[in-house]
Structure 1
């Protein structure tokens, strides 16, 4: 009788965990000779903050996991690996980009429900997929000079530079004596009319006058205040404005140069165009490659 009880208890202990496991985790998908469980899917959704995911969201995330598993399998097949040094370099990059210490990074991960070891495994998968895409896709993307020229011609407006105006200024703070400020500003206007430059006026008047100013830089339409924009609207290179009262000062603007709008030379934007075309081609080839990889694999979705 005792043996029968012991045997029954042992059998019960073997059956119950398997029943619980069946209740907790079922097969969501079979990918070649590997499985993705519903528990793994739920864990992924929770890690992404989707605790109440819809059926559509679950199917989309499962599809992502299938693609990732296929890429991991392909990586093993061709012998791609991710070293600990690769992961450490990636972690250091994250710290530098966010200006945080390793301890601060670990605390941020904990707040997201992720351990450092789990994070390292996530990075390992991301780096592995990046290496695989470089091996399978990026190395096969080629951009010709003709493609660059065609793109340039089709997107000329994108490389058109707006007209600019280069300005200098003289500013006379009103302070406690607005009358004196106006008299000094009027003297400065006469000096400009006589051909002195803004810098010369500054040098000549600053020892005995409250005066500020100098080169302001170049501007496109809309970068200056409305008051300044209107004041210089009809001025040619070398012209200056009358006195402009603005804030607690009087200003004089001089148009040093008007720089006409032009189209950037293709040589100055070629690398940028190559980058954009490469990304477009990579996205297209990556999609084609994923579709081919999936069609050549055994994938059984059971969700």
Structure 2
């Protein structure tokens, strides 16, 4: 018996008791070649898309008709891809699937129990997740076979992208600063802490009045190296310094002297000597990164075109 006809008979029989009870009945929303997409499938997909839209647009209520059309289009494309995977007999070995799950656990530092708990929080069982992962791996194999193997990224494309996006490749901001450090023992009596605070406040006033900052560092800083380098912190980039000092420096202009900056070790007065942009990383160093980015972009574009071609050659009937 024809698969579609059999499905229709089963759907009609199973729907009868539900109709009598007044429950929602899952009907046929579309037929893609010989495969059926139900209205229940569409509703589930639409609900997922609506959640994505609301999250992205800060609670904005999405248009239901647009969401439903997007959901149906997604399901049609998915069905066409599934049919092609079946036609080409693309299969993911169980060992590859197991290893992919192990990689996910390792990357996220999860035990099997923690992964199952995390999936449950998203409303998924481990078997459902495993099936979804298998589908993703099959899709990647299909893309590699039908799309990616036919894509090339040329030297000229890489160079043009690099020239147009130099700011993305290493023109990181750098800072050159000095500091005066006052050590504060967290277990010290409050009177001792108050004394250090009073000294730091007085030195801050002197620094802001125009006194030589390096000399003040040599005279007052508890950093042993300050006697030699005048509190010079050298040149550094974001991420190189402790968070409190980095936050203070980030808001300063060359020549500025900070307020007292408190860290776990004590109090600091920072003077920013210089800030600017470093040189971009050379093309040879970022070439592979750019090639991967362009390759991925081309793959996605070509895959979408390929799915559109599948649509043109498919028998697709929209029912409701």
Is this contact kept in 2: 1:163–1:262, CA < 8 A? no
**What is the CA-CA distance between 1:94 and the residue it aligns to?**
3.3
**What is the CA-CA distance between 1:289 and the residue it aligns to?**
0.6
Residue in 2 that maps onto 1:237: none
Residue in 2 that maps onto 1:29: 30
1:263 aligns to what SS in structure 2?
coil
In 2 relative to 1, CA 223–215 (structure 1 residues): closer, same or farther, beyond 3 Å? closer
Rounded to whole Å, the distance in 1 between the matches of 2:195 and 2:140 is 66
Is this contact kept in 2: 1:47–1:112, CA < 8 A? no
Residue in 1 that maps onto 2:102: 92
Q: Which runs of 5+ in 2 are unaligned?
A: 1-9, 20-24, 52-61, 184-192, 239-244
Rounded to whole Å, the distance in 1 between the matches of 2:73 and 2:165 is 36
Residue in 2 that maps onto 1:201: 227
Rounded to whole Å, the distance in 1 between the matches of 2:213 and 2:150 is 70
Rounded to whole Å, the distance in 2 between the matches of 1:29 and 1:228 is 58
Listed as ranges, the matches of 1:186-225 within 5 Å are 189=215, 199=225, 201=227, 215=233, 217-219=235-237, 223=246, 225=248
Residue in 2 that maps onto 1:238: none
Residue in 1 that maps onto 2:301: 284
Residue in 1 that maps onto 2:64: 54
**What is the CA-CA distance between 1:90 and the residue it aligns to?**
3.0
1:134 aligns with 2:148: no
Residue in 1 that maps onto 2:77: 67
1:17 aligns with 2:23: no
**What is the CA-CA distance between 1:148 and the residue it aligns to?**
0.9
- Cα RMSD, aligned residues only: 4.4
Residue in 2 that maps onto 1:40: 41
Rounded to whole Å, the distance in 1 between the matches of 2:310 and 2:134 is 21
1:28 aligns to what SS in structure 2?
strand
Residue in 2 that maps onto 1:171: 181
Rounded to whole Å, the distance in 2 between the matches of 1:124 and 1:47 is 20
- Larger Rg, first or second structure (1 or 2): 1
**What is the CA-CA distance between 1:71 and the residue it aligns to?**
0.8
Q: Which runs of 5+ in 1 are unaligned?
A: 1-13, 204-211, 235-240
The TM-score with structure 2 as length reference comes to 0.65
**What is the CA-CA distance between 1:163 and the residue it aligns to?**
5.5
In 2 relative to 1, CA 72–254 (structure 1 residues): closer, same or farther, beyond 3 Å? closer
In 2 relative to 1, CA 70–262 (structure 1 residues): closer, same or farther, beyond 3 Å? same
Rounded to whole Å, the distance in 2 between the matches of 1:28 and 1:147 is 44
2:317 aligns to what SS in structure 1?
strand
1:154 aligns with 2:164: yes
Residue in 2 that maps onto 1:4: none
